[in-house]
């Protein structure tokens, strides 16, 4: 009996990359509707990359400065006129893919596999920020990158080359328009570019081409034996680049595509996670302040002794449940009460001060039959709102850490929150007091009480 043959690690890696993309997509779709809407672009990129892998498509992305001859290089590789070539900058305004059928290369095991060449906007295009984003998105999905120059690299070209090299993908520096230089100048430029890109590129990855050679005047013999001068377009000198590209594909091929896709999936998963954290944090902070202000106003404006305390407790429980919904953690009223109680206990002195003010204000309301509301409103309301902020921020920490206090415990977490809030306590209290006064001024009944 023969031992089972181990699967090809490259094939396994390719399938793992597809699974990683699908997991990242599912993770992105698993959030709240607002999060999914904000992540629409990232989800579309993940879906597109999954399709790319299932097709066995290999993407070669072409970068370069305006008029370095990117589109000419693409046309020469494709063997046909596909993209406009112009002396005017800014002709390429979007990343444009074209199937390159002339290579004969296919990803092993994928009968419909093909190579795609993607032209991108120039690195210094007018309105370049948006176009640079398009180019970077193309670089993220690239399996192999061509960077086209037409002479010695300028500072912005070298910076772009270094940035692209940081993506850890095969990168070929293409010196185009060599027909404009003498043989000696070509050798000098070739050596200079190898020197400048040392540590960034393998010397073999600096390749010379003439993608769209200038027309030459040649002497043509007519049928009658006469001679005439005529402009002729020489064939592109592109074979060295084709050979280098095929060397890279044959050497790395399927493994290269799999690694790039796995890196892409990891990057997008991290981006989805970071976006989700940011959106949840923003939503949580906004709602914490909203509940704190509502609680402060409700407690301040309530003239009936005892009901202000009951209202404050109800507001805190509602806030805890709302925050749990934002973070996707199921909490019922009982568990929300337990959480709020544990935070209140951990808050110690601050919560004690809040309830002392509640008690004193409630007693005063009782003795004056509610007529002291205007006198007690602002301090009682501000204390209530401040306490709500503590409970809200502590709840947010608890939910952000997967419904856990971790090794620190609630007391340590709450104490750190209290220390942080104390740095700006006066402005926080003032903000709450302003909310109370604004609401009381709009309330005619409150104004009559105050009068």
Predicted confidence band of residue 129 (pLDDT cuts 50, 70, 90) = low
Side-chain half-sphere CA neighbours of 112 within 13 A: 5
H-only helix segments in 142-206:
155-165, 183-196
Mean pLDDT for all residues in the chain:
78
In this predicted structure, the answer to whether residue 305 has a pLDDT above a threshold of 50 is no
In this predicted structure, the answer to whether residue 143 has a pLDDT above a threshold of 80 is yes
- Please tell me the predicted confidence (pLDDT) of residue 130: 66
- Please tell me the predicted confidence (pLDDT) of residue 140: 85
Q: Identify which has the larger pLDDT, 276 or 136.
A: 276
Pairing of strands 227-232, 216-221: antiparallel
pLDDT tens per residue across span 312-362 = 677 788 899 999 988 888 888 888 888 888 887 776 644 444 444 444 444
Domains of the chain, earliest start first? 9-272 (3.40.50.300), 302-450 (no CATH)
Which of 17-31, 379-393, 399-413 has the least mean pLDDT? 379-393
Pair 173, 160: CB distance under 8 Å: no
- Please tell me the predicted confidence (pLDDT) of residue 14: 80
DSSP helix/strand/coil, 167: coil
Averaged pLDDT, 207-225: 82
Averaged pLDDT, 278-306: 78
Cα 21 to chain centroid, rounded: 15
Pair 25, 48: CB distance under 8 Å: no
Q: Identify which has the larger pLDDT, 365 or 155.
A: 155
Which of 30-39, 97-106, 237-246, 436-445 has the least mean pLDDT? 436-445
- Please tell me the predicted confidence (pLDDT) of residue 132: 63
The residues, ordered by sequence, that sit 6+ positions from 280 with a Cβ below 8 Å of its Cβ are 35, 326, 327, 400
In this predicted structure, the answer to whether residue 432 has a pLDDT above a threshold of 50 is yes
User: Rounded to the nearest 10 degrees, what angle do helices 425-442 and 373-400 cross at?
Assistant: 130
Give the percent of the chain with pLDDT over 70: 78
Averaged pLDDT, 95-100: 75
Long-range contacts of 367-371 (CB under 8 A, 24+ apart): 370/303, 370/304, 370/305, 371/303, 371/449
- Please tell me the predicted confidence (pLDDT) of residue 402: 86
Distances 199 to 162, 166, 368 between C-alpha atoms, Å: 10, 12, 83
285-302 burial, b for 16+ CB within 10 Å, e for fewer? eebbbebbbbbbbbbbbb
Side-chain half-sphere CA neighbours of 190 within 13 A: 16
Predicted confidence band of residue 375 (pLDDT cuts 50, 70, 90) = very low
pTM: 0.67
pLDDT tens per residue across span 221-261 = 777 777 777 777 788 999 999 999 998 888 877 888 888 88
In this predicted structure, the answer to whether residue 365 has a pLDDT above a threshold of 80 is no
């Amino acid at each position: 009996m023969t031992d089972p043959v181990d699967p090809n690690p490259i094939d396994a890696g390719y399938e793992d990359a597809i699974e990683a993309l699908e997991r990242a997509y599912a993770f992105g779709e698993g959030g709240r509707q607002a999060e999914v809407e904000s992540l629409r672009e990232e989800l579309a990129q993940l879906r597109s990359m999954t399709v790319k892998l299932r097709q066995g498509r290999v993407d070669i992305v072409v970068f370069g400065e305006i008029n370095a001859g990117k589109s000419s290089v693409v046309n020469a590789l494709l063997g046909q006129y596909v993209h406009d070539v112009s002396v005017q900058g800014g002709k390429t305004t979007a990343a444009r893919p074209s199937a390159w059928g002339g290579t004969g290369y296919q990803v092993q095991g994928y009968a419909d596999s093909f190579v795609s060449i993607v032209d991108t906007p120039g690195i210094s295009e007018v309105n370049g920020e948006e176009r640079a984003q398009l180019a970077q998105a193309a670089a993220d999905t690239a399996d192999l990158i061509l960077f086209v120059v037409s002479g010695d690299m300028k500072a912005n070209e070298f910076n772009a080359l270094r940035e692209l090299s940081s993506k850890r993908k095969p990168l070929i520096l293409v010196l185009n328009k060599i027909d404009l230089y003498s043989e000696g100048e070509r050798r000098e430029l070739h050596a200079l570019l190898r020197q400048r890109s040392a540590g960034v590129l393998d010397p073999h990855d600096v390749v010379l081409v003439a993608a769209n050679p200038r027309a030459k005047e040649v002497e043509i013999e007519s049928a009658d034996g006469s001679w005439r001068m005529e402009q002729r377009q020489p064939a592109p000198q592109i074979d060295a680049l084709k050979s280098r590209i095929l060397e890279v594909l044959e050497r790395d091929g399927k493994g290269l595509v799999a690694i790039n896709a796995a890196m892409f999936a990891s990057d997008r998963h991290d981006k989805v996670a970071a976006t989700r954290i940011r959106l949840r944090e923003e939503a949580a902070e906004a709602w914490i302040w909203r509940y704190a202000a509502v609680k402060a106003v409700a407690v301040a404006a309530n003239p009936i002794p005892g009901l202000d305390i009951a209202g404050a407790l109800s507001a805190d429980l509602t806030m805890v449940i709302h925050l749990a919904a934002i973070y996707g953690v199921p909490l019922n009223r009982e568990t929300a009460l337990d959480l709020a109680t544990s935070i209140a206990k951990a808050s110690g002195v601050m919560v004690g001060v809040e309830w002392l003010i509640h008690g004193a204000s409630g007693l005063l309301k009782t003795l004056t039959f509610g007529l002291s509301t205007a006198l007690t409103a602002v301090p009682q309301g501000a204390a209530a709102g401040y306490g709500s902020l503590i409970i809200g921020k502590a709840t947010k920490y608890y939910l952000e850490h997967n419904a856990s206090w971790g090794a620190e415990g609630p007391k340590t977490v709450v104490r750190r929150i209290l220390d942080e809030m104390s740095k700006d306590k006066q402005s926080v209290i003032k903000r709450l007091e302003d909310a109370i006064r604004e609401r009381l001024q709009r309330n005619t009944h409150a104004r009559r009480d105050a009068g």
